[in-house]
């Protein structure tokens, strides 16, 4: 772990699934209280997630967040009224290449997010019910994704075979040649996004909008899409249940999301200072 390099924290950017949220997608009372305590003393708090904008509205409302949020790993910045401030879509060639690679693996479910819709071909896939429960809305079934190829915000490959997804992650990273990014937001989810759709660039943009120096920012996360913001923040905190690879890229490690790790980090590094 690196040495903490920030002064007083003015902005906290937090991941959602596996970080702020419990496994049932709820916000624990302690995490909720910690966020409200930040807001009460004037510290900015907002979210950066792999979810689509529609999949974070309930939590934004619950927490009373009035700042822009980062969806699709930073591919879309969304204002409090739901309008898009910034959007980075996948290049068509990257969309085509991704779908071509994934088509060779029948056990992998492929989801495409475009036009504010969650698109898929098989509504009975083993991971669909879980995702619908998480996002809070149903997918749209399509025969193919071709008509959406120029308007894709994110592609997700998901299956129970974690080793296969890790292999596909490396395969796509090699194939893209800077056209796109492939990273696992969770063990069973492989996200493909535009090159600038990353939480590090999102942090920089949000900090600039709020007039906060990067050295006065804190970020918290647990997945393979979070080190991008770890490397830009004044203070980076990994969740206790994150993989060793992710934890090693953060300056500090807190407890797991089952143990209110977000609240512990906020209390220790912001409120007590």
- Answer yes or no: do 75 and 209 share one domain: yes
Per the domain annotation, does 68 fall within a domain? yes
Q: What pLDDT score does 17 carry?
A: 95
The span from the CA of 30 to the CA of 264, in Å, is 9
Nearest to 134 by CA among 163, 103, 105, 158: 158
Residues assigned a catalytic role: 15
Two tokens, residue 116: 């504010």
Determine contact, residues 201/214, Cβ cutoff 8 Å: no
Strand partners, 184: 190
- Answer yes or no: do 137 and 219 share one domain: no
Span 95-100, average pLDDT: 96
Q: What pLDDT score does 2 carry?
A: 43
- Answer yes or no: do 203 and 75 share one domain: yes
Which of 165, 193, 221 is where one domain is finished?
A: 193
Domain of residue 211, CATH code? 3.40.50.1000
- Answer yes or no: do 141 and 187 share one domain: yes
Domain of residue 101, CATH code? 3.30.1240.10
Span 42-56, average pLDDT: 96
Per the domain annotation, does 249 fall within a domain? yes
Q: What is the DSSP string of 189-242?
A: EEEEE-TT-SHHHHHHHHHHHHT--GGGEEEEE-STTSHHHHTTSSEEEE-TTS
| Structural domain boundaries, residue 74 | 11-87+197-271
- Answer yes or no: do 182 and 120 share one domain: yes
Nearest to 240 by CA among 252, 253, 258: 253
Residue-wise pLDDT tens digits, 172-214: 999 998 899 999 888 899 999 999 999 999 999 999 999 999 9
- Answer yes or no: do 245 and 187 share one domain: no
- Answer yes or no: do 83 and 201 share one domain: yes
Tell me which of 9-13, 75-79, 82-86, 150-154 is least confident: 82-86
- Answer yes or no: do 164 and 187 share one domain: yes
- Answer yes or no: do 103 and 118 share one domain: yes
Per the domain annotation, does 4 fall within a domain? no
Q: Tell me the whole-structure pTM to 2 decimals.
A: 0.87
Q: What pLDDT score does 3 carry?
A: 44
Which of 140, 168, 193 is where one domain is finished?
A: 193
Phi–psi pair at 145, nearest 5 degrees: -105, 5
- Answer yes or no: do 97 and 188 share one domain: yes
Which of 162, 193, 224 is where one domain is finished?
A: 193
Q: For the beta carbon of residue 142, count every other beta carbon within 10 angstroms.
A: 15
Q: How many separate domains does the chain show? A: 2
Residue-wise pLDDT tens digits, 238-256: 999 999 999 999 999 999 9
- Answer yes or no: do 34 and 53 share one domain: yes
- Answer yes or no: do 24 and 69 share one domain: yes
Per the domain annotation, does 6 fall within a domain? no
Per the domain annotation, does 37 fall within a domain? yes
Per the domain annotation, does 2 fall within a domain? no
């Amino acid at each position: 772990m690196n040495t903490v390099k920030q002064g007083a924290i003015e902005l906290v950017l937090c991941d959602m699934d596996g970080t702020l949220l419990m496994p049932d997608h709820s916000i624990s009372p302690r995490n909720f209280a910690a966020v409200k305590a930040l807001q009460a003393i004037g510290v900015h708090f907002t979210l950066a997630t792999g979810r689509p904008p529609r999949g974070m509205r309930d939590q934004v409302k619950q927490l009373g967040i009035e700042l822009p949020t980062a969806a699709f790993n930073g591919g879309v910045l969304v204002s409090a009224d739901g309008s898009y401030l910034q959007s980075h879509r996948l290049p068509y060639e990257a969309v085509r290449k991704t779908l071509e690679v994934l088509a060779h693996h029948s056990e992998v479910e492929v989801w495409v997010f475009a036009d504010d819709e969650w698109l898929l071909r098989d509504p009975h896939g083993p991971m669909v019910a879980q995702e619908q429960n998480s996002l809070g809305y149903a997918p749209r079934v399509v025969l193919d994704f071709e008509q959406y190829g120029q308007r894709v915000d994110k592609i997700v490959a998901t299956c129970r075979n974690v080793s296969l997804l890790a292999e596909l992650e490396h395969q796509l990273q090699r194939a893209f040649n800077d056209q796109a990014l492939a990273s696992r937001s969770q063990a069973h989810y492989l996200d493909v996004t535009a090159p600038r759709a990353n939480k590090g660039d999102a942090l920089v943009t949000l900090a600039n909008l709020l007039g906060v120096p990067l050295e006065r920012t804190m970020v918290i996360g647990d997945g393979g899409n979070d080190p991008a913001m770890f490397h830009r923040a004044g203070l980076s905190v990994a969740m206790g249940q994150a993989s060793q690879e992710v934890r090693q890229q953060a300056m500090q490690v807190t407890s797991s999301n089952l143990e209110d790790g977000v609240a512990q980090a906020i209390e220790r590094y912001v409120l007590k200072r």
